[in-house]
Amino acid sequence: MKSVENVRYKATIAYDGTEYSGFQVQDNGRTIQGEIEAALKRINKNQVIRIHPSGRTDAGVHAAGMVFHFDFPASIPQEGLFKALSVLLPADISILELEQVEASFHARYDALAKTYTYRVHNHAIRDPFNRKYVLNHPYKMDEMKAKEALDIFTGTHDFTSFCSIKTVIENKVRTIYEASVTIDEATNEWVFTFTGNGFLYNMIRIMMGTIIEISDGRMDSTKLPEIIDAQDREQAGKTIAAHGLRLEKVYYNEAELIDLIARNDSQKDI
């Protein structure tokens, strides 16, 4: 029997995934979900609260805008719940936003799209300060080659070649609205940004393994359409390190997403 005094919350959090075995609760290892549910349980007089995320992130993957929903007694005011979470969560997880939503809101089913970034430090000398957030790649990368690869990935494709063979989902067709890169010449940091209606297991890490091979000249971008068509994981590049990957944003607002798609289309015309 569902309690009538519950309200549904949508929460947005940031976390450093370095010391976690991923988002989802599992038998072994510390998880983001485990930490959040432990904090909510303490606030809720030791009664278990389940959270429902927009999706999972793997071990070592970070987030600047992960979203989840949960139901919580209305007797605790929203402001107090936010402050209690701020205090109880460990230093590597921050609660950014908390809002009451309709009881029909679902963090996963209602998600329209997600934006991820993958960061690469393209330099022969490692930077000790970004080592947990940025992949160091010591071989010179070419911006034009990277952009050729990103353009080929943009659009609707069957991404079978770019997902872990462990994936059980049958439909591997996904649409990438935005695949871009910006380079900070001062720090040699390349930030790759991907926005899509969904991403398969390991998909961005395999795409990025392939993009880096193309960028540093080990593979020619003209091979990429063939690799996509092959629908064979063996054809694509390797799954690169998790620590360069960060979930930036989950889209629930259609107007906002249409705006992003329009902006990307107009940039291409320039």
Q: Residues 42, 50, 131, 140: which binds a second copy (CB under 8 A)?
A: 131
Please state the closest distance from residue 52 (CB atom) to a second copy, in A: 22
Q: In 3D, which of 150, 149, 122, 119 has the Cα closest to residue 222?
A: 149
Task: Please give the distance of CA 89 from its chain centroid, rounded to a whole number.
Answer: 21
Who's near 193: CB < 8 A, 6+ residues apart? 115, 116, 117, 178, 179, 180, 181, 182, 248
Instruction: Give the DSSP per-residue string, 27-78.
Output: SSS--HHHHHHHHHHHHTTT-----EESS---TT-EEEEEEEEEEEETTS-H
**What CA–CA distance (Å, rounded) separates 138 from 136?**
6
DSSP state, residue 113:
E
Task: Kindly state the smallest distance separating residue 110's Cβ from a second copy, in Å.
Answer: 24
Lookup: tokens for 15 = 């976390």
Question: Could you confirm whether 58 is annotated as catalytic?
Answer: yes
Q: 259: Cβ–Cβ under 8 A, 6 or more apart, which residues?
A: none
Work out which of 10, 16, 117, 214 binds a second copy, going by CB under 8 A: 16
- Least distance from C-beta 80 to a second copy, angstroms? 15
- Asked whether position 126 contacts a second copy by CB under 8 A, the answer is yes
Give the x-and-dash track for 82-121 against a second copy (CB under 8 A).
----x----xxxxxx-------------------------
Token pair 């990935």 in the structure block, residue: 153
Q: Compare residues 64 and 112 and give the one whose CB is closer to a second copy.
A: 64
Min CB(226)–a second copy separation in Å? 37
Residue 249 found at the interface with a second copy (CB under 8 A):
no
**By CB under 8 A, residue 38 contacts a second copy:** no
23 part of the interface to a second copy, by CB under 8 A = no
Question: Which active-site residues does the annotation give?
Answer: 58
- Chain positions contacting a second copy, by CB under 8 A: 14-16, 62, 64, 86, 91-96, 125-129, 131, 133
